[in-house]
Amino acid sequence: MSKFWSSIVTRTEPYIPGEQINDPSIIKLNTNENPYPPSDSVENAIKDELGGNLKRYPSPTVDSLRETIAENYHVGKESIFVGNGSDEILGFSFMAFFEPGKTIRFPNISYSFYPVYAKLFNIPFDEVNVNSDFSLDPSAFFESDGGVIFPNPNAPTGILLSLSAVESIIVQNRNQVVIIDEAYIDFARETAVPLVAKYPNLLVIQTTSKSRSLAGLRVGYAIGHPDLIEGLNRIKNSFNSYTLDRLAIVGANAALLDKSYYEAITRKIIQTREWISKELTQLGFHVLPSQANFVFASHKKVTAINLYTLLKQNGILVRHFNQEPIDNYLRITIGSNTEMKLFMERLKRILRKNT
Ligand code: PMP
């Protein structure tokens, strides 16, 4: 702490992101990145842009990319906001739609960034307990004072809340904004975006980091009523009217246009997820029913922290959260088939030695 810090910095907690390591010999299953590369069209678009206009500022309104997203979802481009990863849009949304003095709600087990933003912007929050099977109880989010935010599928559990339950939360919060963080929705395919046309209080946030293999490019987007998008634009323009750089704009645009490539790798990841979930269950894990590109699992005999350490010693990095009641679970990102076969081999060896 420094005596020069403002009260904003003082009340902010340091956020600890997942470990980012560059050792190619490590099988990295800890931050839900896509194991497959982006489509060739992304590289081509970025190369073209590199040969062209980097001396010029990018478009502050990013019309090309917003039009592509709008067409994908059959909405107008005035319903689309783009930002530097969905994290940035989440931060802007807390500022634009949540109020100091009005309590918002999110699940007690969900994306660990929400309490960090809430504290930063002085927004009181209730962490709503999840059910004993880790699913969400929609009625616990009805009639909030200041708004609601949750990931769907939830992270780090991977559990999906049905679209009808999502809709009931939006309906029962008509005077507050409900934000659905759909970072993993392409692995579940039950997006709430069609509800945007019906409900002016709904903001859906998605990302190119997961299903589009572009975590390194940092492009997220939000879909909502034009008035909500205008609120986000005011925040954005006050901080940095150019939040997306030229390479990110053309790369994300190329990815979002190349549907067949991404549908194919998404299908592969879903198949691997189903296979891994069965295998882990046979090995004595309790595995939550995941609709995301990761599984959340707890072994009946070996503690999660021991398994995390033993896997790491064997060249495999997974995610462990030191937080009750999930401290005996591991979040395992679905890697390529080759990576997951190696993961299973090494895990079986570890379990033979330790049970
Ligand atoms: N929401 C959730 C639920 C996440 O797990 C993540 C990834 N850590 C994000 C948002 C942020 O994704 P990005 O900023 O890469 O778009």
Alpha carbon of 182 to ligand 1 centroid (Å): 9
The model carries a pTM of: 0.97
ipTM above 0.85, yes or no: yes
What is the arrangement of strands in the sheet containing 148-151, beginning at the earlier edge strand? 80-83, 220-224, 202-207, 178-181, 148-151, 104-107, 125-128
- Same domain? For 234 and 279 the reply is no
Alpha carbon of 52 to ligand 1 centroid (Å): 31
Does a structural domain hold residue 135? yes
- Same domain? For 207 and 288 the reply is no
Q: Is the confidence at residue 189, as pLDDT, over 80? A: no
Does a structural domain hold residue 222? yes
- Is the CB of residue 181 below 6 angstroms from any atom belonging to ligand 1? yes
What is the pLDDT, as a whole number, of residue 45? Answer: 97
Measured by CA distance, the residue closest to atom 7 of ligand 1 is 183
Measured by CA distance, the residue closest to atom 12 of ligand 1 is 86
- Distance of alpha carbon 11 from the chain centroid: 24
In degrees and rounded to multiples of 5, residue 33 shows phi and psi of: -80, 165
Does a structural domain hold residue 201? yes
**Helix residue ranges per DSSP H, 51-187:** 63-73, 85-97, 113-120, 163-171
Residue 153's CATH number: 3.40.640.10
Of the three residues 194, 223, 257, the one that is the final residue of a domain is 257
What is the pLDDT, as a whole number, of residue 132? Answer: 96
pLDDT by residue (tens digit) across 57-80?
999 999 999 999 999 999 999 999
Does a structural domain hold residue 68? yes
- Is the CB of residue 107 below 6 angstroms from any atom belonging to ligand 1? no
- Is the CB of residue 42 below 6 angstroms from any atom belonging to ligand 1? no
What is the pLDDT, as a whole number, of residue 275? Answer: 98
Ligand 1 atom having least distance to the Cα of 89: 14
- Same domain? For 236 and 348 the reply is no
- Same domain? For 132 and 222 the reply is yes
Does a structural domain hold residue 326? yes
Residue 28's CATH number: 3.90.1150.10
Of the three residues 201, 228, 257, the one that is the final residue of a domain is 257
Cα(340)–Cα(274) distance, integer angstroms:
12
**pLDDT band at residue 17 under the 50/70/90 scheme:** confident
Mean pLDDT for the stretch of residues 81-110 = 97
Does a structural domain hold residue 5? no
- Same domain? For 79 and 171 the reply is yes
> Rounded mean pLDDT of the chain?
96
Give the number of other Cβ atoms within 10 Å of residue 275's Cβ.
15
Cα(120)–Cα(130) distance, integer angstroms:
24
pLDDT by residue (tens digit) across 260-308?
999 999 999 999 999 999 999 999 999 999 999 999 999 999 999 999 9
- Same domain? For 62 and 23 the reply is no
- Same domain? For 229 and 272 the reply is no
- Same domain? For 27 and 47 the reply is no
Does a structural domain hold residue 73? yes
Does a structural domain hold residue 313? yes
In degrees and rounded to multiples of 5, residue 178 shows phi and psi of: -110, 120
**Overall number of domains in the chain:** 2
Distant-in-sequence, close-in-space partners of 188: CB < 8 Å, separation ≥ 6:
152, 153, 160, 291, 292
- Same domain? For 23 and 104 the reply is no
- Same domain? For 193 and 328 the reply is no
Of the three residues 257, 273, 301, the one that is the final residue of a domain is 257
Domain that holds residue 60: 40-257
